[in-house]
Amino acid sequence: MKTSGLLIACSFLISGCMGMPQFPEQEKNPKFWNDWAQQTLKDSLEQDFSNKKAKNLILFLGDGMGVPTVTAARILKGQLSGKSGEETQLEMDKFPFVSLAKTYNTDAQVPDSAGTATAYLCGVKANEGTVGVSAGAVRSQCNTTKGNEVTSILRWAKDAKKSVGIVTTTRVNHATPSAAYAHCVDRDWYSDNEMPAEALQSGCKDIARQLFENIPYINVIMGGGRKYMYPINMSDVEYPDITKHSGTRKDKRNLVEEWKSKMKDEKAHYVWNKEQLKSLNPKNVDYLLALFEPSDMSYDLDRNNNTDPSLTEMVEVAIKILQNNPNGFYLLVEGGRIDHGHHEGKAKQALYEAVEMDRAIGLAGRLTSIHDTLSVVTADHSHVFSFGGYTQRGNTIFGLAPKISDVDHKSYTSILYGNGPGYKLVKGERENASVAKYDEKNYQAQAAVPLSSETHGGEDVAVFAKGPMAHLLHGVQEQNYIPHVMAYAACIGQNKNHCMLKDGAVGLMPMFSSIATILTITLLLC
């Protein structure tokens, strides 16, 4: 794709800055598009369908990052660098294999982040609101937990002696990361403080506790969620005077101190700010617990650059630590606040989160090799987010549609939500977007139906893949197919029949192995 990239860059150099049309002059020439398509075709024909073993596995999960969000983030990324935006490539756009995943939960047409996390981490579809348990478990019913637990690919990798890590911009015990280690019938049981007495009496454990007890020695844990690890009313180290940030645990346990005590003889570190994180030498770290906020981390647009690391900075440290293991690693990275921005109707916050996750994807690509690392980028679900209005090429993604409504004669933004908190009436009529501060970071885009929190969408999500066995992610698949492919590529988990060689390579594929067996028998009989 290098040639096509140069064509695009050159076309913008000769593009006029004033007047219409707002697109490069070269695009008027059919040769521009024909050459670009032919180069893309050439690159595709040269694509390597690698059957090599994946030493490392990385799953990037954009929470709520549906296809409209991907497209809008692509345009934003380009516009942030002074381009029109539409022709820009996200890092995930460069992945050679793309498929679609069906996201429904076993009991929900439009899914939530817990049931979907169980699918793409544990390999089985599950009920809405439950993590790390099969559909036999019923949400909030503690007594349905036992016997319905399912394990995740993070556990499969750990059992194979790989290093494992979790990096998220939400709480480390939020829905997405918790499915990697917990078995819980309610995603909201962050600590024992959020659990009903009946569940505690029946022996169910909160998710924060399971983080430290279920899979010993997770190598990297990074994100927010400090308050769920500390005794109730214990002041937070960063916000000692803000009550809502104080500890929540009724059992009075200090899980951070327990972790530090347990890891005292290991190369282990606990950090809670960016300065401490940056002071570490990853080569000398085997275990890292990093909790940067009492709850979720700040939106990237609101982040204090001096005290809080970006997702990209966290991913860099995580990969460098995990690479210490010669057996390889599994890393789950969640851009979790894309989802939160959409729920709040704050498209600008959501899209900047998506662009930041794309930066992290690019960095991970530079730190690893496509020859031994299978990287997958996907979403758990979509949102009722859209952009349209017949906007012209290069229109700011947060801007107005070019024409007013022919019904109520008011302006509207290109970005709209099907429902959510952006529903506003002024004197009984729809607000005129042209008088609103629609370019501010917390502007809530107009919505068709009033809701305090915008909802998820039910359509399929994209799955981008590169590296060994990436071609197995093809077509339209159930979401729970994803971890099975990743495990197969790395020779971990339940299906290892194809992993016969001891030198780190993948052995004969099952079909060819069967043919070889038949030929051998035939020769013996002859």
| pLDDT tens, residue by residue, 32-85 | 888 988 988 888 777 777 789 999 999 999 999 999 999 999 999 999 999 999
**β-bridge pairing 476-478 and 382-383:** unpaired
Please tell me which residue, 484 or 520, carries the higher pLDDT value.
484
Q: What confidence score (pLDDT) does residue 37 get?
A: 85
**174 belongs to an annotated ligand binding site:** yes
**391 belongs to an annotated ligand binding site:** no
Residue bearing tokens 């300065």: 275
* Whether 202 is catalytic: no
Between the alpha carbon of residue 383 and those of residues 31, 40, 420, 457, the distances in Å are: 38, 31, 11, 4
* Mean pLDDT, residues 123-150: 98
CA 51 – CA 55 distance, rounded (Å): 12
Task: Quickly list DSSP for 336-394.
Answer: THHHHHHHTT-HHHHHHHHHHHHHHHHHHHHHS-TTTEEEEEEES-EESEEE-S-PPTT
| DSSP helix/strand/coil, 63 | coil
CB 421 within 8 A of CB 444: yes
pLDDT value at 375 more than 50: yes
- Domains, the chain, ranges and CATH? 47-384+455-496 (3.40.720.10)
pTM exceeds 0.85 for this model: yes
* Mean pLDDT, residues 223-246: 98
| DSSP helix/strand/coil, 335 | strand
Q: What confidence score (pLDDT) does residue 111 get?
A: 98
CB 302 within 8 A of CB 247: no
Of the residues 113, 152, 178, 386, only one is catalytic, namely 113
**381 belongs to an annotated ligand binding site:** yes
Q: What confidence score (pLDDT) does residue 501 get?
A: 56
**334 belongs to an annotated ligand binding site:** yes
Cα-flanking dihedrals φ and ψ of residue 464, to 5°? Answer: -105, 140
Q: What confidence score (pLDDT) does residue 506 get?
A: 52
**176 belongs to an annotated ligand binding site:** yes
**183 belongs to an annotated ligand binding site:** no
Between the alpha carbon of residue 109 and those of residues 105, 128, 196, the distances in Å are: 6, 10, 28
* Mean pLDDT, residues 133-158: 98
